[in-house]
Amino acid sequence: MYQDETLKCKDCGNEFVFTAGEQEFYASRGFENKPSRCKECRAAKKNAQRSAREMFDAQCAECGKDCQVPFQPTEGKPVYCSECFAAKRAARD
């Protein structure tokens, strides 16, 4: 049903293949538009948006290590470093 299609990236101008598998994935998610950027430019845009996020200094309530979090810590609420947060999440699941 789907066939590989060659598209042109709107950022870098390079051609990239929109595979049949990707098209099927897009359709299963209800996406109607084709991608306008190649994988490299999509990743670069995503990373640029992520790095623009303001980070706040905090101290982990579990291990005491200094860390940075993407939200303003609220006094009286625990903040966890990424390692302790992941461990708590894994223990919960």
pLDDT tens per residue across span 61-82: 999 999 999 899 999 999 999 9
Query: What is the spatial distance between Cα 23 and Cα 28, in angstroms, rounded to a whole number?
Result: 9
Q: For residue 79, what pLDDT is reported?
A: 96
Q: Are strands 15-18 and 56-59 parallel, antiparallel or unpaired?
A: unpaired
- Asked whether the predicted pLDDT for residue 50 surpasses 80, the reply is no
pLDDT tens per residue across span 14-47: 999 999 999 999 999 999 999 999 999 999 998 8
Task: Tell me the pTM.
Answer: 0.54
State the residue for tokens 């461990």.
87
Extents of the domains making up the chain: 5-51, 56-92
